[in-house]
Every structure is written in structure tokens, then in C-alpha cells.
Structure 1
């Protein structure tokens, strides 16, 4: 009998507590990290058996519009979040004599790529135009304009 009374009180207090609980939007607006965390901790949990997706859509509001891919993050994006950009074009400033294993190459756009294979090449070019293309399984290839030389690379900066 005692458990039944406690259960009745808990069920009756649920809607009252939910009215005073903060919303996801209110928590997102808080700039102080500790206060924002406390706000999220105060959010009511969904009842057992309630799909979390249904609860999230009712409290989160409309979904944010997708943003265009950012070329400055090309090569650094997480593996789970695949970018729509398949290649970038840039150049290497100044004289470029080639590469060897583990060499780092700074592009004119500020990106730094490291040779990821054991390839070597001897080139004698000034301000060469390059393309970095996405390969399969997350691999990137450095290609030089007017040359058939390529190297597998990975972005380090």
C-alpha cells in the first residue's frame, strides 16, 4: 500500500516538474559551460519505453539547415562525417625539387600534407600547381600539373 501511495505521488508530480524544467533551447543559450551543463542535467529523462527520437524532436525544435562543405577542413574531417569535396587545387610556392618518404609539403593555401608512402620523386619546378584528390578508404593523393607523378599523402595541418 505504501508503494502505491508513493507511485501515485510521483505520477502526479511529473507534469508539474516538467513545466519547471528547462528546454534544450534554453540550455543551448547559456554561455557559461558549468551553468549550461547544470541546465542539461536538470532536463527530465524520457519515460522508459518512450523512443528517444520522438522526445528529441518535440523538445529540440526544427532541425538546423545543412551547411556547405568547408574546403579549409579538407583532409582533417572525421571519418564518420564524409565531406562532399572530392579534390582541392592549390600550388606549392617557390622552387620545388621533389619529395621523399615522410616529407612535409606546404601548399599556398596554408595546408600541410605529409608523404604517407615510400615514394620518391625528383622534380625541378617553380610554383607548381597541384591537386589533392580523395581516393578510396580515406586515402588522399597529391598530383602535379603536367606530370604523371603522384604520391599518397595525409594532411597534418
Structure 2
């Protein structure tokens, strides 16, 4: 039930007068205290502007409908993706460990490296490395800005890579 609807335009006029009195106070602290002392009413969007015309049934319905809708409708539940935005994802692995089958002779710009698990990674940073390694273990880690880094056991450099297949 809308309290303002029961009191009609006089309640709105009293509230408007109280707001005008607070607005007229020059001292910021005193003005804030005046606003804080005002009793809370219906949301501002539900209060129509005071007018000389008497309130009709349609006006009362328009005032009570938004107030009833605001109290009856539950707050929307944020989507799980929105809740996780900006946080570290604990569901996704942060690194992948595998091997490069056979003899690994190194990499060059745009080289494709096939891992034992079937994944194919391409070098994207233009780096080069010459190594002679047999079945080296590799770790693919998340790098800066969403990229990936391929750390190769026995190599002192790690190229930036992206997954191709």
C-alpha cells in the first residue's frame, strides 16, 4: 500500500517543502544533516510531480504500480560468467605438461611443434632455438596478455606459441 496515496497531494507538498528548506541551508554539513533527517518515502521515480489537479484513480494506479513492481520483483541473479569476470579461473588448468615425441632439433619463426598428446602449437614470436633433444618434456604455460609460452626441458629459451590444432 502506498503511504503517499493515502495522504494525497499534502504529503507531497510537505516533502517538497522539507527539501526546499534543506536546499536553502548554506553550510554543507548542516545541509547534509537536514537531508539525512528527512524520512524515507517511496522511490523518487514513483513520486509524481505535485500539480494543482486532484489525484485521479489512474494517477494513483501509476504511483502504486512501480512501487509494487519494485518490491515484488526479486533482484536478477547475475550470470556465472559475470560473477567470475576479472578473477583467475580456477577451473581451467594453468599449465599443460607433455612431451615432444622423437628427436627435437629446435624451432624457428612460425615453426609448428607437435606434442605427444596430439596438440599442435605454432611459434608466434619470431624467436629461434637450436637444440638436439630426445623426447623432451614440455610445459605450456599461460603467459602475459593471454598468450602461451612453451617451456622445453633442456632449453634455456621459451618461445611464445599459440595453439593451431
After TM superposition, the score normalised by the length of structure 2 is 0.46
Computing the radius of gyration from Cα coordinates, the structure with the larger value is 2
